[in-house]
Amino acid sequence: MKVRALVLNTFKEAIRDKVFYTLLLFAVLVIIVSVLLGGLSLGVNEKIIKDIGLAAISLFGVLTAVLVGISLVYKEIDRRTIYTIISKPVHRYEFLLSKYLGLCLTLLLNVTAMTMFLFIVIWFQGYSLSLVLLKAILLIFCELMLVTAIALLFSTFTSSTLSAVFTLAIYIIGHLTTDLKEIEQASRGWLSRYITNFCYYVLPNFNNFNIRAEVVHGVDISGVYLLGVITYCIFYTAIVLFISILSFQRREFD
């Protein structure tokens, strides 16, 4: 019951944030722009709408997770309301997990709203809604769950600005894992090979969640691949949340 109340409170706090609606508006505008750009390209209108639409859901979802997520714990500390919360019969891990689940609920609302708008645009343009499109959006939401966990981790021990920088850096590097492997194979020095190899295996591989190319070209994604990526997301997110709880448990509040 305590966790449920904290989750709902986090959800209400997040959707009242102006950043949430600003980013949602930008995502809608980007999807509208994709229609205009598609109209300028003969024969590829549907591909452009789907590609840019999915990219907008992913990008603005990540920005929401980072900008809203990093402030959830920081605001409690900055306003000193954390003292009131931890003085009550609420464990620190319950507080942290509630913040995470509340933001995931917010992101679910965010992704659902953008998805409905994209579907309306695709339907209005006379194109079909494929199952692989839904699979792509499911993986985008899994990606956002992992990004949220990473943002929450950094927010437990550093400032909101640094949390945003670190989270976005990991997100960008996580989309360059293929390049990291190529760099590791081309490197001659043992130190550079070690560092790139370490980053390749330790940092999250966000390329696993990106199937926009398959959506655009109408290639179906197998259930085995989908289940594998979801399992990877759950496993990695669980590890990050566990580290976040350990970090928050050790933190001293002056």
Q: At what angle do helices 18-40 and 45-78 cross, to 10 degrees?
A: 170
Show the tokens assigned to 130: 């494929």
Q: Is residue 199 part of a domain?
A: no
What single-letter amino acid sits at 204?
P
Task: Please give the average pLDDT of every successive group of 10 residues along the chain, which has 254 residues.
Answer: 73 74 78 70 73 88 85 70 66 84 90 88 82 91 94 86 90 81 66 74 88 82 92 96 88 64
Q: How many structural domains is the chain composed of?
A: 1
Please name which of 218, 187, 184 lies closest in space to residue 201, comparing C-alpha atoms: 184
- The answer to the question of residue 101 being in a domain is yes
Residue 74 lies in a domain: yes
Q: Has residue 185 been placed in a domain?
A: no
Q: Say if 189 falls within a structural domain.
A: no
Q: Provide the domain limits for residue 28.
A: 2-175+210-250
Flag whether 90 is in a domain: yes
